[in-house]
């Protein structure tokens, strides 16, 4: 049975933070009010001294932990090869950036770094000795449209297994297990005036695994409007969904999973609208995983678009309530 702890990524409060409604301290305090003891911080978003950790920032983190009893447990790194205006970063520079992220995480007391796929499997193996030296585990994020079983993630798995390191692995984003159209994608398109019959046809094409270009042509031949086409492209990209969640793939990689992003876009009637949380949490629960699932709300524009009537704090509260209920039910089944 897994030892699952629930936390919050401060990214969930992005809209409140960037508009000035919440300060960094407010984000931490709000996370604590939700009854969790751990949070993830996205370094580029909320660390003013990034790419370094200043003594001033470190003092603030310590002060917040003293005041609110909540600490950073994961460090969200951005593998940003495009930060120079005239060229992409090379492999050596990306490795050096990741080593610095490991050092930053260690300084903050985080045991996990969430890295991204632009750090290649070979380079992930290269940074393993540094992760081991600082005792920080580095996980490649598995994010839509990837799943644990897609070829790209299988290349990481092969490299991780060959390395023999216990400090490199994965950070799955639970959005990669979505089985229904995303609410922003589907309901948002309807609200903008998309033809429902044509939008449902786009969903049908995706469910039938019709290749992108063929599906695109079918929709155009039927005269699909721009709102349908925009939603359609999302269905084949970062807001994709599947007929069945890749739980077999998840079980295969679980020995190398350090941390989860509890992605969600909207809550209705106590359930997430597109991700089958009961099935996914049960798959995790029945392993020896020990770590955090941090709620990650990506509904920053849903309220403004009239698709939900709650703010980020309320959304995360509902998400945590759902997870706690599901985990309690799983615990009862074990007895």
The string of pLDDT tens digits covering residues 98-116 is 999 999 999 999 999 999 9
pTM assigned to the model: 0.96
What is the pLDDT at residue 85? 87
Question: Does residue 292 contact residue 176 with C-beta atoms inside 8 Å?
Answer: no
pLDDT surpassing 80 at residue 275? yes
Q: What is the largest CA-CA distance in the chain?
A: 62
Task: Give the C-alpha separation, 31 to 65, whole Å.
Answer: 12
Could you tell me which residues come within 8 angstroms of residue 248 by beta carbon, excluding any fewer than 6 positions away? Answer: 149
Write down the domain spans for the chain: 3-180+243-334, 183-235
Q: How far is CA 151 from the centre of its chain?
A: 19
pLDDT band for position 174 (cuts 50, 70, 90): very high
- Binning the chain into helix, strand and coil, the percentages to the nearest 5 are 50, 15, 35
For 120, 191, 240, the CA distances from 201, given in Å and listed in that order, are 37, 17, 15
Q: How far is CA 330 from the centre of its chain?
A: 23
Percent of all residues in the chain with a pLDDT value above 90, rounded to a whole number: 93
Which CATH superfamily hosts domain 3-180+243-334?
Divalent-metal-dependent TIM barrel enzymes (3.20.20.150)
Find the mean pLDDT for residues 293-308.
Answer: 93
For 7, 199, 271, 324, the CA distances from 67, given in Å and listed in that order, are 17, 49, 32, 25
The string of pLDDT tens digits covering residues 200-233 is 999 999 999 999 999 999 999 999 999 999 999 9
Task: Give the C-alpha separation, 220 to 193, whole Å.
Answer: 17
The tokens for 182 are 């995303």
Question: Does residue 24 contact residue 60 with C-beta atoms inside 8 Å?
Answer: yes
The string of pLDDT tens digits covering residues 243-261 is 999 999 999 999 999 999 9
Q: Any idea how long the chain is?
A: 335
For 112-174, the DSSP string reads EEEE-TTS-HHHHHHHHHHHHHHT-EEEEEE-TT--TTSHHHHHHHHHHHHH--SSEEEEEBG
What is the pLDDT at residue 333? 86
């Amino acid at each position: 049975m897994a030892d699952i702890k629930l936390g919050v990524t401060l990214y969930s409060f992005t809209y409140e933070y960037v508009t000035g409604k919440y300060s960094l301290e407010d984000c931490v305090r709000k996370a604590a009010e939700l009854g969790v003891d751990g949070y993830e911080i996205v370094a580029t978003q909320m660390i003013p001294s990034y790419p370094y950790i200043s003594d001033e920032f470190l003092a603030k983190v310590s002060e917040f932990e003293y005041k609110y009893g909540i600490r950073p447990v994961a460090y969200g790194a951005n593998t940003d090869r495009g930060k120079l205006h005239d060229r992409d970063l090379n492999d050596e520079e990306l490795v050096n950036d990741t080593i610095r992220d490991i050092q930053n995480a260690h300084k903050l007391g985080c045991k996990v770094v969430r890295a991204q796929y632009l750090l290649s499997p070979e380079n992930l193996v290269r940074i393993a000795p540094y992760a081991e030296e600082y005792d920080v585990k580095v996980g490649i994020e598995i994010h839509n449209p990837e799943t644990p079983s897609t070829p790209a993630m299988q290349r990481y798995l092969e490299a991780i297994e060959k390395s023999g390191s216990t400090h490199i692995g994965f950070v799955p984003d639970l959005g990669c297990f979505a089985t229904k159209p995303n609410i922003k994608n589907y309901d948002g398109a309807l609200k903008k005036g998309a033809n429902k019959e044509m939008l449902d046809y786009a969903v049908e094409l995706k469910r039938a695994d019709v290749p992108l270009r063929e599906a695109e042509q079918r929709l155009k031949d039927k005269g699909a409007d721009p709102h349908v086409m925009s939603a359609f492209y999302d269905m084949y990209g970062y807001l994709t969904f599947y007929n069945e969640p890749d739980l077999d793939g998840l079980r295969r990689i679980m020995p190398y999973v350090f941390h989860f992003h509890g992605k969600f876009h909207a809550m209705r009637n106590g359930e997430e609208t597109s991700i089958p949380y009961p099935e996914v949490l049960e798959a995790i629960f029945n392993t020896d995983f020990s770590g955090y699932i941090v709620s990650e709300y990506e509904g920053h524009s849903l309220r403004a678009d009239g698709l939900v009537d709650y703010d980020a704090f309320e959304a995360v509260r509902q998400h945590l309530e759902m997870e706690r209920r599901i985990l309690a039910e799983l615990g009862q089944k074990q007895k």
